[in-house]
Amino acid sequence: MTAPHIHPVTETQKEMVLDTIGQVALVEQRNNKIQDFIKLKCLFLQQGLEVWQSEYNPGGWTAPWLLKILVTSQFEHSIDATNHEQKLRDEFKRIQSLSGCSCVPFCAPLIQDGEQVVLPIRMPRGVPLNIFEVDKQTTYQLLEILRRSVTGLQQIHRRGYTIGGWADNCIFISEDADVEFIDIKDSLNTSEDIKAYAQAFLSLAEKTLQPRIYQWYRAAANGSTIDLDAIRCDLSALIDLGVCDTLPQKVEIEKGAVIDHHYRLDHFISATSRSQLWRALHIQGNYPCCVSVYQDVDNQWHTLSNMYRSLAKIYHPHVERVLAFGQLPQSDDLFIARDWVQGVGLDEVQTIEVGQPRLWFVQLLTALQYLHSLDIHHGAICPKNIICRDEKATLVNFGIGSDIAATHYAAQYADPTLWSVEGDAEKDLYGLVASFIDAMAPESIKQGSSADAMLRALEQYDKQWLGEAFYDACYKILKFEMRIVPNVSYAKQLGLDEQELENSGL
């Protein structure tokens, strides 16, 4: 076309040119196809290493795949090519060994044609974590994503591998809460892997606004916990028992306010500098309950979380039951919903029948024995936290802790010096004995509520009527001289009759 002269072109020349052009087109087409995989878009390219988005097209249907390609001829040194090829083969072996585990992508056999080694990996569903729209997900969806990711991580660890590849673009999440890890390197130990996992998913966990969840991820991200079983159980419990998506606006703690869509605050009971106690109504169930609200989630989290975990998993007829635990929206406040125990405080009982106080005492003593055996301590036993009705007494307000202890208990009963060095179990026993003496003895005998006043009141009781062994044990408890003997029942250590102990539950 650009020659200054016109030259005749023969048919033979014409056919040769067309054949050459056709061969170039075929070579290009062949280069873009590896067996039945058609390369569509190059995602990564670096000296012999390529990652391609492709589709599998054997005819009739297509499926998206990723191709990790190693072109050995493009490496400057053969030893580099050998090392990278070994890494690719190791990755194939890992994925094959993890076949069947959650969150592990499917891969096809290695392809090797002499010039290149190809590892086909099924394109993960969803989008990478760094572009996943967390704000558009419901609380349930976020919890399900976390549960599936934890389950997959556990299964991988149990096969003897770790992930190691925790970059945001290597974690894929789908709209159906499917999670896949596409860069399983096995380059970390288990503890390091859990820490890296928590760091990667922390922002997602915090969006749930469930303190039981995001506090674990914070702790794990700092390397202070590696307990995957605990978080998986908490996630399952929240999903199975049901949580509500949090309200967008802050809830004002006042009469008529609704907490967690379930609990309506009906009557204010008491408050301290850091907590409030309300009688509430479970709206759907139409039954009374009580709700405790605690300020400053970060400072109170550890104590309240342990208390809730402990009480939520046990049952004792003389211990209150907790119903729910969570964080108030747009706030740093926590709440705990509890069963409403019918009755009045020990110091408000109007009519007392003969034998009732002793029966109540034995019931609560058995409750303490059970709780202490599980390493659960009340920490603030006082007349206000012992609810009595007819033939039953119940310990309530676990977790109020130092607030109530300071206002109703430790400050007025125990010697502060002795109190500070005593064990948790001894404090609970002291509180139980002092509470009954304070509530039952007339003011003329006590002349106050100090430790000395409790001793003076006890000394007015007839040893024979109380029982000498029981009297002596109570006296030692009030003087912090009693040492609890392991594996021996509290009733026996306090000199109570076994028959009396058995009848206390009837």
DSSP 8-state code for residue 103: T
- Encoding tokens for residue 393? 């007494």
**DSSP codes of every residue in 240-305:** HH---PPPSSPPP-STT-EETTTEEEEEEEEE-SSEEEEEEEETTTTEEEEEEEES-HHHHHHHHH
pTM, to two decimals? 0.59
Q: What 3-state class would DSSP assign to 335?
A: strand
d(C-alpha 55, C-alpha 53), whole Å = 7
| E-state strands within 47-137 | 49-56, 63-71, 111-112, 116-122, 127-128
Question: Nearest-CA neighbor of 277 among 169, 185, 399?
Answer: 399
Q: How confident is the model at residue 166 (pLDDT cuts 50, 70, 90)?
A: very high
- The one-character DSSP state at 184 is B
- Cα distance between residue 58 and residue 358, in whole Å: 83
Q: What is the pLDDT of residue 459?
A: 85
What the block records as the tokens of 218 is 């914070």
Q: Looking at the predicted structure, is the pLDDT value of residue 60 above 80?
A: no
Nearest to 230 by CA among 210, 209, 211, 216: 216
**pLDDT at 27 (0 to 100):** 45
Q: At what angle do helices 211-221 and 190-206 cross, to 10 degrees?
A: 140
pLDDT of amino acid 401: 44
Q: Minimal CA–CA distance to 474: which of 428, 433, 423, 439?
A: 433
C-alpha–C-alpha distance, residues 393 and 366, integer Å: 11
Closest CA to 470 of 445, 496, 451: 496
> What's the angle, vertex CA 385, arms to CA 381 and CA 390, rounded to 5?
120
φ, ψ of residue 215 in degrees (nearest 5): -70, -35
Q: What confidence score (pLDDT) does residue 55 get?
A: 87
502 has a pLDDT exceeding 70: no
- Bigger pLDDT: 415 or 480? 480
Instruction: Determine the pLDDT at residue 157.
Output: 93
Q: Which secondary-structure segment (H or E) carries 433?
A: helix 424-440
Rounded Cα–Cα distance for residues 290 and 281 (Å): 8
Range in 440-444, 469-473, 477-481 with the lowest mean pLDDT: 440-444
- Of the pLDDT bands very low, low, confident and very high (cuts 50, 70, 90), residue 29 is very low
Name the token pair of 178: 């499917």
pLDDT digits (tens, 9 = 90+) for 115-161: 788 989 888 888 999 889 888 888 889 999 999 999 999 999 999 99
Task: Please give the pLDDT value at position 505.
Answer: 57
Phi-psi region of 212 (alpha: psi -120 to 50; beta: other; left: phi over 0): alpha
Residue 317 has pLDDT above 50, yes or no: yes
Specify the pLDDT at position 154: 92
Query: CA dist 325 to 213, 247, 304, 374, 376, Å?
Result: 12, 16, 9, 21, 18
| Residues with Cβ within 8 Å of residue 41, at least 6 apart in sequence | 52, 53
- Angle, CA of 158, 163 and 165, to the nearest 5°: 175
Cα–Cα distance for residue pair 322/311, rounded to 1 Å: 7
Please enumerate in sequence order all residues whose Cβ is within 8 A of that of 344, keeping only pairs 6 or more positions apart, or say none. Answer: 350, 387, 388, 389
Do 329 and 297 contact (CB within 8 A), yes or no?
Answer: no
More confident residue, 415 or 138: 138
**The pLDDT of residue 203:** 92
Local structure of residue 154 (DSSP, 8 states): H
| Residue 9 φ/ψ, nearest 5 degrees | -115, 125
Answer yes or no: is pLDDT of 220 > 90: yes
Tokens for 43, please give them: 């995602």
Query: Mind listing the pLDDT tens digit for each residue in 284-314?
Result: 889 999 898 887 766 666 667 767 767 777 8
Q: Span 398-414, mean pLDDT?
A: 55
Q: Write out pLDDT tens, residues 238-279.
A: 777 666 555 567 788 889 998 888 899 999 987 777 788 889
Does residue 26 register a pLDDT over 50?
Answer: no
Asked if 393 and 387 count as a contact pair (C-beta separation under 8 A), the reply is yes
Length of the chain: 506
Q: Which of 1-5, 254-258, 408-412, 458-462 has the lowest mean pLDDT?
A: 408-412
> Which whole-number Å values give the CA distances from 486 to 314, 372, 373, 490, in the listed order?
21, 11, 10, 9
Give CA–CA dist 31/38, Å, rounded. 9
Tens digits of residue pLDDT in 357-382: 888 999 999 999 888 888 888 877 88
Residue type, 26: L
Q: By three-state DSSP, how is residue 169 classified?
A: helix
